[in-house]
Amino acid sequence: MYTKTYTLRIISAREFRGKQKDYLDLAEKEPVIIHRGKNKKSVLLTPIDENTETDIFFANPQILNATNEGIEDVNSGRVTSLRDLKNIWADIL
């Protein structure tokens, strides 16, 4: 199970825009939540890396399995090629 204790930083979207670089750098060390205001969902800034001990995506076995299955599909040629980008549904369906 993935557990870690963090200091949680919650900021406004306006504050984030003004200090974007600072908060992106901070998000590499601790979670940063951007509160977007009334009737809008807040978002969480979190880094993505391949360290399965610290990354919420790579630590999730379901995501890892789906990613590995996708890589196997591509390597085995189980892909759909698009011949006409203006009519992609003809190749997909």
Closest CA to 79 of 62, 66, 91: 91
Model confidence at 52, pLDDT cuts 50, 70, 90, reads low
- Region 39-47 average pLDDT: 86
Residues 6+ positions from 40 with CB-CB distance below 8 Å: none
Kindly state the percentage of the chain with pLDDT values over 90: 33
For the whole model, what pTM was predicted? Answer: 0.47
pLDDT at 1 over 60: no
pLDDT by residue (tens digit) across 2-32?
Answer: 455 557 788 999 999 999 999 999 988 888 9
- What 3-state DSSP class applies to 17? helix
The pLDDT value recorded for residue 92 is: 80
